[in-house]
Chain A
Amino acid sequence: MQSDHLISFEHVTKTFITWDGETHAVENVSFSVNEGEFVTLLGPSGCGKSTLLSILAGLIKPTNGEVHIRNEKVTGTSKHIGYMLQQDYLLGWRTIKENIFLGLEIQGLETEQNQKKALKLLAEMGLLSYKDHYPSQLSGGMRQRVALVRTLATNPDILLLDEPFSALDYQTKLKLEDLVIDTLRRKKKTAVLVTHDISEAIAMSDRIIILSPNPGRIKTVIEIPDVIRTPLPFASREVPEFQSYFQMVWKELNYS
């Protein structure tokens, strides 16, 4: 099935089977993401949003259904994809510079040119002077910025963000949201964010896919209007329409 979408989920179902029985994590989920789009999977815990992200990353296989990236079936991890975890998971025994080269190292792309690009990204995040420091010497926000550089260093087209701001304090989180959106727009990346934070979802996304739990299913899809999605996330929160969208999403999440 040919399509113009960058990413497409087709009737994806995932059941985890263990000794104790089986857990239906997601059931019959279909959606697609266009090039350059920022899509958020929003839902309470147990709605399988992280599972969907892992399937997209090729880390786990769906029980049924298929996921395609550029019309190619996902069968394993791909260099198209960069993944950001809930915490920075910087390696404490490596310097910042060595941390951001990790992906390049693993993919065998450790050329001088790529390393220069990575350091340039680090400079864009205002952290170049920390390149020879160790992660323990950096604050939480700085560490998560380093993690972003590490993810971008391998130059993926698609970024998967698995609640990347959840471990940060509120102020840092707001600043990072702006930084991430700004960076992704400038570099024309496509992103899929997983979160349970309603205002984060509205402020950052072009489109929100609301999931209901046990098993995870798509409940509604909400398009965010230009007036909210054009400004950076911090400014988006100031737009008058923001409140009504917040109410709308809130109702969707709580209505059964």
Chain B
Amino acid sequence: MIKSEQAGLYIHVPFCLSKCAYCSFYSIAAPNLIPEFIKALLREMAFWKSSCLPLKGFDTIYLGGGTPSLLSGGQIHDLLNAVHSAFAIAPQAEITMEVNPGDVSPEYLRNLRTWGVNRLNIGVQSFDDGILKFLGRRHSAREAVCVSDAARAAGFDNIGLDLIYGVSGQDVRLWIQTLERALSFVPEHLSCYQLSLEAQTPLFGRYRSEGLSLPAESEALDFFFATSHRLAEAGYRHYEVSNFARGNSFRSRHNMKYWRHIPYLGLGPSAHSFCAGRRWWNTADVAAYIQNLSEGKTPVWQSEELSAEQLALEALFLGLRTQDGIDLEQYQALHGVDLLTAKKQTLGQLVENGLVEIRDGRLSPTLSGLAVADSLALI
């Protein structure tokens, strides 16, 4: 428990060769800026190292994006070395990197492994070329297969695949086919996201102009249940709304920090950090990020001080996204609310309707409850 209370370090690599149609994360297609960006990242590490921020030791590192696999092996190496010299990284730290099928060679993967990356998250999204094209992915289903195999061959024993379901034209049966292909690699971890349309993404515009629609509530629920049931059968634990692990030890230790309100430091443009009731985030503009740091200025763009009420609400909606749910005693100690007493009638109704369980001092959502986790947080 003490170990998991250590903070997480996130590094955002905001570059993509092309933008996927559904993606609203910040990235730009200007790989020429990468060397300057890496310099700025090193400066940011130095900035935080010399700050009075109490985050100096981490037991998870997550390289996300964007497309971190656009960085060369040497650049990743430099970056990880810099992290280790700037901060105290726990010996058993989980070091995850997101990779994009099609970008990475077997050699690249072997190097990552050598430099300490011990968990790969592969952005497969689908094993159906039609759907990959629809989503605007650069890779093919075949490339997704290749990279998955190559990752194993490179010695990775903790691999996660990202998949998307609920794409226009895809019914539950087609989706389960993709899921079966994914299972054939026996990944340690799976993230299965229902497609959502973020405003200002090309896909959002396309759905609107072509009159497409996301699955209706009952179909979305079919997807959700079918995924959960199939993966349970295959031995995966549905530990968060969209995340599945082949056993507790393969849960994403880094991502769990977000859901458990454990501090994290985010480096790079648009990265968010959270510590001691404060959340702050860096400028999302790569050029401004580079310039600020080169001038010795802070990369932080905005921050918020969370009120006790806001912290309590966050703890509730984040905790209820996970199968573990909320430790009631801890919640009361941290937020001063005895949920069992304060929400007695509503909780009774929710238990009766099979949406939550109260057991061993925890309030946790059932599978049906996970499907309405946002509303559960409004009790």
A binds B: no
Q: Show the binding face of A for B, using Cβ within 8 Å.
A: none
